[in-house]
């Protein structure tokens, strides 16, 4: 109740009046990263009617941490509160037994027209392995079945400091059906330089499922953000696209302005708004990590 009251007070203060169209749903969790523990929303079309459904991936704290029992219930809670059909993808592991498919929303980014971006470091690596026994073809089959994608675009690695081991939402993002922004690091001595350069080389050669190339823009990286000797995953690619704006994490860095201009050129239909996130990055994530959008449907659901 206290947290709800504080959140409402902040919303009212920022808007200058009583916040409207805001509904609070209280769900106990282990952490705030709704992008990863929450469901991915998809549209189901039947004739002229389009409805929204939720895909509840299995969450196991990035195959790294042990405290995720509360987070496992987030997809079902959200689907119930929003009155959405919930899909739970199942696969057969190396032992032949059926089990739920492990995935986080931060590991994928779709263009809404048949393509999804992801990384080999996250979904195919034996380090922090999500789905032991599943190869690239098996992963692509699940993504195709539950996201409706026809082409999986595989990049190599994510950024340094990312405890998820390669999430795409700190690395490269769609800004349109055929446009992508990808992080680049100009400092050749930085651990991010070569992995991000390799990602860019791949992107320039990639084609969508129709054989069309992508328009790829370079997004700079801020200078390393260090806390208590640990590098944090600070990235402008962790922006969040909402109905009337694009919220972009900034870090009081000289590259902030450059990144904002790049994204303004990509999103010409809405304002690009900077949000200071240097402190938030201490938790190893920022804006995209802590949000999860629900698209509209033609029948109002």
Catalytic residue positions, numbered: 289
CA-CA distance, 235 to 196, in Å (whole number)? 12
* Closest by Cα among 95, 93, 27, 101 to 60: 101
The position carrying tokens 């895909």 is: 55
3-class secondary structure, 204: helix
3-class secondary structure, 74: helix
> DSSP letter at 281?
G
CA-CA distance, 199 to 119, in Å (whole number)? 9
**Strands laid side by side in the 40-46 sheet:** 40-46, 49-55, 85-87
| E-strand stretches of the chain | 40-46, 49-55, 85-87, 90-92, 98-100, 109-110, 115-119, 151-155, 172-174, 179-184, 215-220, 226-227, 230-231, 240-241, 246-250, 272-276
> DSSP letter at 287?
T
> DSSP letter at 39?
P
- Is the sign of the CA dihedral 285, 203, 221, 126 positive or negative? positive
């Amino acid at each position: 109740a206290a947290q709800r009251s504080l959140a409402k007070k902040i919303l009212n203060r920022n808007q200058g009046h009583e916040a409207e169209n805001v509904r609070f749903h209280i769900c106990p969790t282990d952490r705030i990263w709704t992008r990863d523990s929450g469901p991915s929303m998809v549209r189901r079309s039947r004739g002229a009617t389009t409805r929204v459904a939720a895909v509840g991936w299995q969450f196991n704290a990035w195959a790294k941490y042990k405290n995720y029992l509360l987070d496992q219930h987030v997809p079902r809670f959200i689907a119930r509160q929003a009155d959405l059909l919930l899909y739970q993808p199942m696969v057969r592991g190396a032992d032949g037994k059926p089990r739920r498919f492990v995935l986080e929303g931060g590991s994928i980014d779709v263009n809404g027209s048949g393509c999804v971006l992801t990384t080999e470091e996250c979904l195919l690596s034996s380090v922090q392995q999500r789905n032991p026994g599943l190869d690239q073809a098996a992963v692509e089959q699940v993504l195709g079945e539950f996201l409706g994608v026809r082409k999986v675009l595989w990049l190599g690695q994510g950024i340094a400091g990312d405890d998820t081991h390669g999430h795409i939402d700190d690395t490269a993002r769609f800004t349109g059906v055929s446009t992508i922004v990808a992080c680049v690091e100009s400092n050749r001595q930085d651990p991010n330089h070569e992995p991000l350069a390799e990602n860019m080389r791949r992107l320039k050669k990639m084609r969508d499922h129709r054989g069309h190339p992508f328009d790829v823009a370079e997004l700079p990286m801020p200078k390393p953000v260090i806390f208590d000797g640990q590098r944090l995953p600070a990235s402008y690619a962790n922006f969040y696209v909402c109905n009337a704006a694009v919220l972009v994490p900034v870090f009081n860095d000289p590259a902030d302005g450059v990144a904002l201009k790049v994204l303004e050129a990509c999103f010409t239909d809405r304002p690009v708004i900077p949000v200071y996130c240097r402190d938030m990055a201490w938790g190893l994530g920022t804006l995209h990590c802590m949000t999860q959008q629900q698209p509209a449907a033609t029948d109002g659901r």
